[in-house]
Amino acid sequence: MKAMFLFLLRSAPLLVLSGVAAAAGSIDGEVEQQPLNTTAIVMFLLFVVMTLLITWRAAKTTTSSAAFYNAGGKITGLQNGAAIAGDFMSAASFLGITGLIFVGGFDGMILSLGAFAAWPLLMFMFAKRVRNLGSFTFVDVVSQRLARGQIRIVASIGTIAVVIMYLIAQMVGAGKLIQLLFGLPYEVAVITVSALVLAYVAFGGMLATTWVQIIKATLLLTGVTLIAILILARTGFSFNELLSLAVEKHPKGEAILSPGVVFKDPVQIATIQVSMLFGTLGLPHILMRLFTVPDMRQAQLSAFYASLFMGYFYLVLLVLGFGTVAFIYGNPEYFDADGKLTGGINMAAIHIASAMGGDILTGFMSAVSFATILAVVAGLTVSGAAAISHDLYAQVIKQGEPDPKTELRITRIAVFVIGLVAVVLGIAFENENVAFIAVMPMVTAASVTFPILLLSMFWSGLTTRGATYGAIAGFLSSLLLIVLGPQVWVSVIGNEQPLFPYDYPGLFTMPFAFAVIWLVSVTDRSARGEIDRANYHSLLVRSEFGEKAAGEGAVG
């Protein structure tokens, strides 16, 4: 295993350079590549070498499954808050939200508002209880009072489904982004991302992943801050002046300062907000980070610092977004012969970096965008591997008494399997709509993970049967309405009109899951149901005061 890591450490830069060399001509002799951004390549390689060295150091301490899952529980609240921010501030946020503001002004912030609103809820409602009740994954929490074998299987399948869906979106995004910015062929970009993540996760576990996310968060916040300062410097550090200039340049004029340019249907806005808000609270790789700190106080601080960093990030994106309108519109350097933005609207953030800071700032932000994808994929991979090795193997198959060495071995095997699946699906979905792929994990998390997690901690009437049926109902309804919606029924299948009008069906699927859980639980008269209800008191005490407070009151 050590020899394999050293091989990856030595060969990863060579892998990238070989991909760059291959991209210098064309893909399969047909598609001519964009000119290479040498600055971006150099900065990217520096990031790769630095993070692989961190992984090498972390690998020395990752000798048990506990160290792999939660970094030994020794991460501070500040460090963990930065890592959570690094995990969540994805390239989709930086590139996507900036691009949406470029197109629709105020409407571009709608996606971020729902996601940001989740963090205060995580801090005040979830952090303390989740940290006191769990050990490694959120499945530990929901299995405290329910039939552990059955609910672990259901919750683990939900976790793996969310992780795989999220991974597809990240891998497709990585391939497209690096294909444009670095000149790498799509397949090479996807394989490179997977190879680097395998090195981070398989050998360094959560500790290496944490520091990769901290570094990435620091770089991203530094980059967007610098761009925002340069934008404001051109308007005398007046945000009002920036808005006036944006209104003057944008084809929609003053309409970009009000909602309705992109999202005209209030129900569409509501279902987006619900999906983003509660989907964020149900993301397993985010919840898993609450177990990397030593106590519930540090867990709450984690959510506080994450809220602080992300609140600042989204505020700065307002400056970047309206800055793109003010300084990119009307500049022929950034538009093609057909009048379309070069690279599409998702490249608006990269173009404003170029307009403000030239090749150096463009190269830096390109490398940061790539680092962003690496950090998110690493967090997802750890979460998926833990669901397989800890929740299914250790707790279900081995009934909580696994061989530690075997469990760690299975964990690392799971990492490689997930990496392989991510590569295959990332290549297979190359030409699919990334927006559609990104919808699925948020809606699924809001309709499966979030309801059973919330009710397991806050409702005494929840039973195993209710949680199981509700999770299945939420999962199937999410998939059905996504397929019948515009992104699949029209964009993928090719029909003229969708059978369901909204891209994000969380407003409908989440209440449906809650309703099924409630109905099945209140009508459950089984012996297991009575045990589930009786277990709530001891769980409530433990959630407030820790594991030892309630003794051994809960029944498995």
Domain housing 84: 2-550
What is the average pLDDT across 460-484?
Answer: 93
Axis crossing angle, helix 148-181 with helix 464-484, rounded to the nearest 10:
30
Residue 518 scores a pLDDT above 90: yes
Mean residue pLDDT of the chain comes to: 80
Q: Is 546 left (phi over 0), alpha (psi -120 to 50) or beta?
A: left
31 within domain boundaries: yes
**Amino acid making up residue 532:** D
Axis crossing angle, helix 296-328 with helix 239-249, rounded to the nearest 10:
50
556 within domain boundaries: no
What is the average pLDDT across 100-107?
Answer: 86
The SS3 of residue 26 is: strand
**Burial grade of 155 (CB within 10 A; 0-12, 13-18, 19 or more):** buried
489 within domain boundaries: yes
69: CB partners within 8 A, 6+ apart: 135, 136, 137, 205, 206, 288, 291, 382, 386, 390, 411
DSSP state of 33: P
Please, are residues 517 and 470 in contact by the beta-carbon 8 Å criterion? yes
355 within domain boundaries: yes
Helix (H) or strand (E) holding 335: none
139 within domain boundaries: yes
Over the range 436-446, which residues count as b (16 or more CB within 10 Å of their CB) and which as e? bbbbbbbbbbb
Please, are residues 302 and 81 in contact by the beta-carbon 8 Å criterion? yes
200: CB partners within 8 A, 6+ apart: 51, 52, 55, 208, 209, 212, 374, 378
- Can you give the pLDDT at residue 247? 92
- When pLDDT is cut at 50, 70 and 90, the band that residue 551 belongs to is very low
CA distance 365 to 510: 37
Please, are residues 383 and 137 in contact by the beta-carbon 8 Å criterion? yes
Domain count within the chain: 1
For residue range 352-394, list pLDDT tens digits in order: 998 998 888 888 887 787 777 777 777 788 888 888 888 888 8
- List the beta bridge partners of residue 318: none
CA distance 74 to 481: 42
The pTM (predicted TM-score) of the whole model is 0.79
345 within domain boundaries: yes
Residue 429 scores a pLDDT above 60: yes
For residue range 231-261, list pLDDT tens digits in order: 999 999 999 999 999 999 998 888 888 888 8
301: CB partners within 8 A, 6+ apart: 76, 77, 78, 80, 81, 293
Q: Which residue has the higher pLDDT, 309 or 415?
A: 309
CA distance 206 to 383: 9
Location of structure tokens 């150096």: 360
- When pLDDT is cut at 50, 70 and 90, the band that residue 513 belongs to is very high
354 within domain boundaries: yes
> CB-side exposure of 281: number of CA atoms within 13 Å?
28
Over the range 499-530, which residues count as b (16 or more CB within 10 Å of their CB) and which as e? ebebbbbbbbbbebbbebbbebbeebeeeebe
> Residue 164 is part of a domain; what is its CATH number?
1.20.1730.10
Picking from 36-45, 392-401, 447-456, which range would have the lowest pLDDT averaged per residue? 36-45
Residue 101 scores a pLDDT above 80: yes
555 within domain boundaries: no
The two tokens of residue 301 are 């601080």
Alpha-carbon separation of residue 313 from 82, 167, 228, 376 (angstroms): 12, 23, 11, 16
Location of structure tokens 């039973």: 463
61: CB partners within 8 A, 6+ apart: 67, 72, 207
Picking from 177-181, 294-298, 495-499, which range would have the lowest pLDDT averaged per residue? 177-181
* Share above pLDDT 90 across residues of the chain, in percent, rounded to a whole number: 21
